[in-house]
Amino acid sequence: MLDTRDITLIIVFSALMAVVTVYAIPLPFGGIGHFGNTVMWTASILFGGLVGGLAGGIGGAMADIFLGEPIWAPFDIPCKLASGIVCGLISVGITSMNKSATVKIILATIAGAVVNLLAYAPVYWLLFGPGTALLWLARFFIPGTALVTYVATPIITIGVMRAYPRVLTFRSSRHGIRRYI
């Protein structure tokens, strides 16, 4: 299912995710605010949700271990994978940069953010209790690093697509299910 290109992309984006996540802002109710999700969602839109989600999960887990927060590492892979796959599925079919593609990129980012938020809520509940889980859910609506990430992802993704239009052919070159995830 994964070929050499996919594995290479997962490795590169995992490393980028880890580096970007290490430069994080601790949150008062646990966890961190970071720009790693921008890397994950951009990879999901450009190369498919499986590549982006695995890169997000692996890179996030590496960053958590490096930051001395290994309690989060086992949850990163399933949570980020779910977020990346949803983001990738919504962005299927982008073959050129136009208004429709821009809307798809924005919707894919929002959907990825919602899935990420909902996937981590039970983790916060399990680790810290229901009050912290509610604070985590409220974070989605509070301006800060999360909001900047939601805005940065479409800008960076569109910038990459405009600078390197050939990247748009990657997903359409895939066969079977890999074209979609």
User: Which domains, from first to last, does the chain contain?
Assistant: 4-179 (1.10.1760.20)
Contact criterion met (CB below 8 Å) for 20 and 39: yes
Tracing tokens 């990459």 back to the chain, one arrives at 160
CA distance 60 to 40: 10
Indicate the residue type of 128: F
pTM value?
Answer: 0.91
Question: pLDDT-based confidence at 24, cuts 50/70/90?
Answer: confident
Where is average pLDDT lowest: 40-44, 126-130, 134-138, 157-161? Answer: 134-138
Confidence of residue 104 (pLDDT cuts 50, 70, 90): very high
Backbone angles phi, psi at 33, to 5 degrees: -100, 130
**Residue 15 corresponds to which tokens in the numbers above?**
């490393």
Tell me the angle at which helices 49-66 and 4-22 cross, rounded to the nearest 10 degrees: 40
The C-alpha atoms of residue 65 and residue 123 are separated, in whole angstroms, by 17
Res 27 pLDDT > 80? no
Q: Among 62, 79, 60, which Cα is nearest to 136's?
A: 79
Q: Tell me which of 156 and 176 has the higher pLDDT.
A: 156
pLDDT at 177 over 90: no
HSE value, Cβ hemisphere, 13 Å, CA-based, for 11: 7
* CA distances for 102 relative to 28, 95, 158, 170, angstroms: 34, 11, 7, 18
